């Protein structure tokens, strides 16, 4: 078999059975080899940012890597923003980047570039295959590296793919353990001493009414949520979820907590008065951006910092058993907002109420609603149980691709993609893949015809002197994109909603329609 066949066969044997791809000439042998390995599903995306965002969404839902297939340095570059988000999410991805044949590189042909340097900025592991003999072993190593919760980039020269003589590698122990989170990143040791909690005996005096437990990562799944709920109920500690969790289980029947606010001022208010801050799968809270005269570090003065270290969900179970042996977790009661009796205009409150009131059981919400979604968490708190995937790395354009990946991962679950208009345009061709693959994704575009978050940030950073030219750089209204027409142009049926009744009806249609559906929801901008 040739190198490409051995690569794909080895990936499949190691459990990697989906490849999101946007190939080019140097990847043609990989593409041809797809037919020789029936277990590998190839999913074509029309832009690399869709490829990588889909691999991220897939990984968040199945907790194993998909493969990507990207075309040399520029293909990698196009996929890097969503690889950045995947890196921040701790998502396992086997990121395959095709390259020129080994002997061709010295000629500096037009597509030649420094792939390693670019890949290193988003990958925890980078390796170049240099021999067809080694390709299967390299593939296994990539799966192993990725499985630790990171992007593993495998650079694949064309001739390593096309040469014959390769053999499969047997998977062996291709399950990497999750690496421990580095809680210390960004902490100034002169300001903060960090107390590590490595067993249930390290917790004297930590949990009480003036304690905040900031959960993140794997603790946002049911097991961790139940454990911290028990601890909180027994001790009076407050639980907050990190601002942008990779995957948060919530809704009726699951302990459901507030998230730490995006705005540093609001986050500061949530944390004010805390004497102990316990990091449980999260990192120490910092401001998303810096603002003139404001601190980046959100840990209150005088607050002691603790971090649960190791297998955090298991350790939280132990702590709960030790501190709260008879305590049951506090489960969220079902609580669904009433739809307005009469139809109302869509606004910040009404659109999220409609979403909450109509949410199907077991939905996956991909949330890139940005400013329009400010009231979403509160409205959906008691909605039927669901998962929420959020923008972990701040690189916009994650929503539609993540929805592609989540829907490929979970074909039997409804996927609801709540997508801000400005961010939608970065990876809009994800709609084509939804149509092509018949994915059950209902997308709601929050169309406020503005980079509304930047209107807010322009004020928050204290920028003065901004006038019409500055405003024009944040305005998407001339022309306002018609997302319903845009969706139809790529084969996704759609409708437009300006009222609660229209949104409710179109959501009903969308959930009932096999394959994708898009709703262009006209909402007012924040500012």
Restricting to residues 2-21, name those near a copy of itself by CB under 8 A.
5, 21
* Binding piece for a copy of itself, criterion CB under 8 A, among 292-300, 349-357, 373-381, 411-419: 292-300
* Measured distance CA(391)–CA(422) in Å, rounded: 14
Task: Please report how close the Cβ of residue 159 comes to a copy of itself at its closest, in angstroms.
Answer: 7
* Measured distance CA(191)–CA(319) in Å, rounded: 28
Cβ atoms 515, 435 nearer than 8 A: yes
Identify the bridge partners of residue 368 per DSSP, sorted by sequence position.
419
DSSP-derived secondary structure letter, 373: G
244 binds a copy of itself (CB under 8 A): yes
Cβ closer to a copy of itself: 290 or 322? 290
269 binds a copy of itself (CB under 8 A): no
Cβ atoms 404, 434 nearer than 8 A: yes
Cβ closer to a copy of itself: 201 or 459? 459
- Per-residue x/- marks for a copy of itself, 184-213, CB under 8 A? -xx-x-------------------------
Q: How is residue 412 written in tokens?
A: 């039997």
* Binding piece for a copy of itself, criterion CB under 8 A, among 192-200, 367-375, 391-399, 409-417: 391-399
Q: Which residue in 209, 290, 314, 322 binds a copy of itself (CB under 8 A)?
A: 290
Q: What is the torsion angle, in degrees rounded to the nearest 10, for the CA atoms of residue 91, residue 96, residue 97 and residue 102?
A: 140
Chain position carrying tokens 């020129």: 100
Cβ atoms 414, 64 nearer than 8 A: no
Output the CA–CA distances (angstroms, integers) from residue 444 to 298, 314, 376, 447, 474, in the order listed: 33, 37, 13, 9, 21
* Measured distance CA(8)–CA(29) in Å, rounded: 11
287 binds a copy of itself (CB under 8 A): yes
Cβ atoms 506, 442 nearer than 8 A: no
73 binds a copy of itself (CB under 8 A): yes
289 binds a copy of itself (CB under 8 A): yes
SS3 at position 417: strand
Task: Please report how close the Cβ of residue 221 comes to a copy of itself at its closest, in angstroms.
Answer: 21
Name, in order, each residue with C-beta under 8 angstroms of 499's C-beta and a sequence gap of 6 or more: 343, 344, 345, 346
Cβ closer to a copy of itself: 192 or 223? 192
Total residues contacting a copy of itself by CB under 8 A comes to 108
Task: Please report how close the Cβ of residue 419 comes to a copy of itself at its closest, in angstroms.
Answer: 14
Q: Which residue in 42, 171, 253, 524 binds a copy of itself (CB under 8 A)?
A: 42
108, burial (CB in 10 Å: exposed 0-12, middle 13-18, buried 19+): exposed
* Binding piece for a copy of itself, criterion CB under 8 A, among 171-179, 249-257, 336-344, 489-497: 489-497
Q: Which residue in 6, 33, 238, 354 binds a copy of itself (CB under 8 A)?
A: 33
46 binds a copy of itself (CB under 8 A): yes
| 226 C-beta neighbours (distance < 10 Å), count | 20
Cβ atoms 199, 319 nearer than 8 A: no
DSSP 264-298: HHHHHHHHTT-SEEEEEBSPPPB-SS--TT--SB-
170 binds a copy of itself (CB under 8 A): no
Q: How is residue 146 written in tokens?
A: 């990725």
74 binds a copy of itself (CB under 8 A): yes
Task: Please report how close the Cβ of residue 434 comes to a copy of itself at its closest, in angstroms.
Answer: 10
**Residues from 432 through 471 that contact a copy of itself (CB under 8 A):** 432, 435-436, 453-454, 457-458, 460-470
Between strands 248-250 and 386-390, the pairing is antiparallel
Cβ atoms 152, 119 nearer than 8 A: no
513 binds a copy of itself (CB under 8 A): no
Cβ closer to a copy of itself: 172 or 468? 468
Cβ atoms 53, 427 nearer than 8 A: yes
Q: Which residue in 14, 16, 81, 497 binds a copy of itself (CB under 8 A)?
A: 81
181 binds a copy of itself (CB under 8 A): no
Cβ closer to a copy of itself: 11 or 474? 474
* Binding piece for a copy of itself, criterion CB under 8 A, among 119-127, 131-139, 210-218, 375-383: 119-127
352 binds a copy of itself (CB under 8 A): no
Cβ closer to a copy of itself: 232 or 403? 403
263 binds a copy of itself (CB under 8 A): no
Task: Please report how close the Cβ of residue 436 comes to a copy of itself at its closest, in angstroms.
Answer: 6
Identify the bridge partners of residue 307 per DSSP, sorted by sequence position.
196, 279
**Residues from 82 through 101 that contact a copy of itself (CB under 8 A):** 84, 88, 100-101
Q: Which residue in 15, 17, 44, 133 binds a copy of itself (CB under 8 A)?
A: 44
């Amino acid at each position: 078999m040739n190198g490409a066949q051995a690569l794909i066969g080895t990936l499949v044997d190691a459990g990697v059975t989906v490849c999101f791809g946007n190939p080019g000439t140097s990847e043609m042998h990989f593409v041809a080899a797809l037919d020789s390995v029936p277990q590998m599903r190839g999913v074509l995306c029309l832009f690399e940012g869709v490829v990588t965002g889909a691999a991220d969404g897939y990984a968040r839902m199945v907790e194993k890597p998909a493969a990507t297939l990207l075309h040399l340095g520029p293909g990698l570059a196009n996929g890097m923003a969503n690889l950045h988000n995947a890196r921040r999410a701790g998502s396992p991805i086997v990121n395959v980047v095709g390259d020129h044949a080994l002997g061709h590189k010295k000629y500096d042909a037009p597509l030649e570039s420094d792939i390693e340097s670019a890949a290193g900025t988003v990958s925890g592991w980078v390796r170049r295959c240099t021999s067809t003999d080694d390709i299967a072993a390299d593939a296994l190593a990539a799966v192993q590296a990725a499985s630790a919760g990171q992007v593993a980039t495998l650079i694949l020269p064309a001739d390593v793919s096309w040469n014959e003589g390769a053999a499969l590698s047997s998977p062996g122990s291709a399950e990497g353990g999750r690496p421990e989170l580095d809680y210390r990143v960004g902490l100034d040791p002169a300001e903060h001493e960090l107390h590590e909690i490595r067993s249930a005996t390290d917790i004297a005096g930590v949990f009480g009414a003036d304690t905040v437990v900031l959960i993140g990562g794997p603790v946002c799944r049911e097991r961790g949520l139940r454990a911290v709920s028990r601890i909180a109920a027994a001790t009076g500690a407050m639980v907050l979820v990190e601002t942008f969790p990779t995957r948060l289980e919530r809704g009726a029947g699951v302990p459901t907590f507030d998230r730490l606010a995006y705005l540093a001022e609001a986050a500061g208010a949530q944390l004010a008065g805390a004497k102990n801050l316990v990091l449980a799968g999260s990192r120490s809270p910092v401001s998303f951006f810096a603002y003139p005269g404001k601190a980046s570090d959100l840990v209150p003065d005088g607050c002691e910092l603790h971090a649960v270290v190791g297998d955090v969900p298991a350790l939280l179970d132990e702590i709960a058993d030790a501190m709260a042996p008879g305590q049951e977790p506090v489960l969220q009661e079902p609580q669904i907002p009433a739809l307005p009796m009469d139809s109302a205009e869509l606004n910040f409150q009404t659109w999220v109420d409609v979403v909450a009131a109509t949410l199907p059981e077991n939905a996956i919400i991909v949330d890139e609603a940005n400013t329009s979604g400010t009231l979403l968490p509160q409205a959906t708190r008691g909605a039927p149980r669901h998962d929420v995937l959020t923008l972990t790395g701040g690189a916009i354009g994650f929503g539609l691709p993540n929805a592609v990946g989540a829907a490929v991962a979970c074909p039997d679950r409804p996927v609801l993609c709540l997508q801000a208009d400005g961010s939608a345009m970065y990876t809009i061709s994800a709609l084509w893949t939804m149509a092509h693959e018949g994915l059950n994704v209902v997308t709601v575009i929050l169309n406020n015809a503005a980079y509304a978050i930047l209107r807010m940030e322009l004020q928050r950073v204290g920028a003065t002197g901004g006038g019409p030219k500055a405003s024009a750089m944040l305005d998407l209204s001339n022309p306002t994109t018609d997302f319903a027409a845009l969706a139809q142009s790529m084969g996704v049926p759609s409708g437009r909603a300006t009222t609660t009744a229209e949104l409710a009806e179109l959501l009903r249609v969308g959930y009932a329609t096999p394959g994708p559906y898009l709703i262009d929801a006209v909402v007012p901008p924040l500012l």
